[in-house]
Chains A and B, each alone.
Chain A
Amino acid sequence: DAKTTQPPSMDCAEGRAANLPCNHSTISGNEYVYWYRQIHSQGPQYIIHGLKNNETNEMASLIITEDRKSSTLILPHATLRDTAVYYCIVRVPSNFGNEKLTFGTGTRLTIIP
Chain B
Amino acid sequence: ETGVTQSPTHLIKTRGQQVTLRCSSQSGHNTVSWYQQALGQGPQFIFQYYREEENGRGNFPPRFSGLQFPNYSSELNVNALELDDSALYLCASSSPEGTAVGEQFFGPGTRLTVL
Which residues of A pack against B, CB within 8 Å?
32, 34, 41-46, 49, 85, 87, 91, 93-106
Chain B residues, CB < 8 A from A96: 50, 96-97
Q: A94 near B102 (CB under 8 angstroms)?
A: yes
B43 (CB) vs chain A CBs: closest residue: A103
Q: B96 near A99 (CB under 8 angstroms)?
A: yes
B interface, size bucket? 20 to 34
How far apart are B101's CB and chain A's nearest CB, in angstroms? Answer: 7
26 contacts between A and B (CB under 8 A): A43-B4, A43-B107, A43-B108, A43-B109, A44-B43, A44-B90, A44-B104, A45-B106, A46-B104, A49-B103, A85-B42, A87-B42, A95-B99, A96-B97, A97-B31, A97-B55, A97-B56, A97-B96, A98-B48, A99-B33, A99-B104, A100-B33, A101-B35, A101-B92, A104-B42, A106-B42
